[in-house]
Amino acid sequence: MNIVIAVDGPAAAGKGTLAKRLADKYGLAQLDTGLLYRAVGYKVISQGGDPENIEVGEAAARSLDPAELANSSLRTDEAAQAASKVSAIPGVRAALLDFQRNFAANPPALADGSAAKGAILDGRDIGTTVCPDAAAKLFITASTEIRAERRFKELQSRGLGAIYARVLEDMVERDARDSGRSASPLKAADDACILDTSELDADQAFEQSVEFITSKNNF
């Protein structure tokens, strides 16, 4: 049986960290779908293009090479902002949808070479659009201020100059784009477990997620 778990939520809510821990626990292949959009956005801006330009964004998505996902520059805030813009383009989302669904249906082997028992995908629209039939759906959120503080500290820890007020402003703008776009807007699936991590540490979020997954699937 190929297990699929969907983890959605806004930026810096903690879904990536959670997805990795769940992948390790259940033996699942993990796909950070945000990297797909970051790779497309970064490709556009690195070539001097406008990430809100429909034709440019669609061309970048159609020519995306999986090897580009390993680029360390995709972790920058600049790439994140570009990702939020290209992800609002319906043609970009359509071009990347098959990639994500194929990963879920045919998960690659794990790092140790063993076969994956399934896949866990984290992003913005996994439970609603990419894998609506996922065995378990989690929607991870937190207050905007808490998420901005987390992103601010992350940037500082990587030696990148950051101003909290600007990080907060960028996050508010990004949330508005992600939630307001016409193509697969950011929202929780009707059958998702909504987990607010504003007052939770990583261990607590993990434990509550495992409890929910167990209740849904008898793992």
Cβ–Cβ < 8 Å for 86, 61:
yes
Residue ranges per domain, the chain?
Answer: 3-217
What's phi and psi for 163, nearest 5 deg? -115, 125
Q: Which CATH architecture has domain 3-217?
A: 3-Layer(aba) Sandwich (3.40)
- pLDDT band of 183, cuts 50, 70, 90: confident
Instruction: Say yes or no to pLDDT of 7 above 70.
Output: yes
Cβ–Cβ < 8 Å for 120, 19:
yes
pLDDT of residue 1: 66
- CB neighbours (10 Å) of residue 116? 19
- pLDDT band of 177, cuts 50, 70, 90: confident
Tens of pLDDT along 138-163? 999 999 999 999 989 888 888 877 88
Q: Which of 4, 23, 45, 7 is nearest to 133 (CA)?
A: 4
pLDDT of residue 219: 61
pTM: 0.85
